[in-house]
């Protein structure tokens, strides 16, 4: 879950930078992507723990 959060933040930051966004845009993209991948990581963690 933590890795998903960090990876999402990195992906969001890079996507905003590629589009020429300002610092606020980069932070917003990083936060949105980080939350999305953290939630996905949480669901995967729960799924894996239930399967074992």
The answer to whether residues 32 and 10 touch, using CB atoms and an 8 Å cutoff, is no
pTM of the model as a whole = 0.87
Give, in order, the Cα–Cα distances in Å from 18 to each of 14, 22, 32, 33, 51.
6, 11, 16, 15, 39
Summarize pLDDT for 3-45 with one digit per residue, the tens.
Answer: 999 999 999 999 999 999 999 999 999 999 999 999 999 999 9
Q: What is the pLDDT, as a whole number, of residue 22?
A: 97
- What does the alpha-carbon distance between residue 32 and residue 52 come to, in Å, rounded to a whole number? 31
Residue 8 contacts by C-beta under 8 Å, 6 or more apart in sequence?
30, 33, 34, 35, 36, 37, 38
Pairwise pLDDT comparison (1 vs 25), residue with the higher score: 25
Furthest C-alpha separation in the chain: 45
């Amino acid at each position: 879950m933590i890795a998903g959060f960090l990876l999402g933040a990195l992906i969001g930051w890079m996507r905003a930078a590629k589009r020429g966004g300002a610092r606020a845009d980069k932070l917003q993209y990083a936060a949105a992507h980080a939350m999305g991948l953290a939630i996905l990581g949480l669901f995967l963690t729960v799924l894996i723990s239930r399967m074992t």
